[in-house]
Amino acid sequence: MKEIISRAELDLDEIHASFFQGHDKGRFLYLWAAIAKIVSLPPGKLRPQDNVIDLYPQSKWSPVSVEMDDLTDLVLKESKGREIPKEFKTVGAVVKFLLESA
């Protein structure tokens, strides 16, 4: 997590153009900001290739965090009834799935 916090912020327009071009920009911005809020990071610090599991603090007594539950809730709400994959490895995979659920 330290590497993520210390990295330079990217412009969200650049992230959209480089990784999610062809998808609705407004929906991308909404989803990206929602995920950033869940993991308590500025949106520009996230990268599509960030591993989802690396964004959550692990409790000593539980392998699941409140933030992971919040991300699950977002996916359930925004998937629009699509079958949800068992696991998402990266932030980009989550966002792409949800963009394609629109």
pLDDT tens figures, 37-76: 998 999 999 999 999 888 876 555 555 555 678 888 999 9
Show Cβ contacts of residue 20 under 8 Å, excluding neighbours closer than 6 positions.
Answer: 28, 48, 95, 96, 99
The pLDDT score that the predictor gives to residue 58 is 58
What is the predicted pLDDT for the residue at 30? 98
Please say if the pLDDT value at position 31 is more than 60.
yes
In whole numbers, what is the pLDDT of the chain averaged over residues? Answer: 88
Q: Which domain holds residue 42?
A: 2-100
Question: CA-to-CA distance for 95 and 87, rounded, in angstroms?
Answer: 13
The tally of domains found in the chain comes to 1
SS3 label, residue 51: strand
Cα distance between the two ends of the chain:
30
For residues 19-35, average pLDDT: 97
Could you tell me the pTM of the whole model? 0.86
Q: What is the pLDDT of residue 24?
A: 96
Q: How many other C-beta atoms can be found within 10 angstroms of the C-beta atom of residue 91?
A: 25
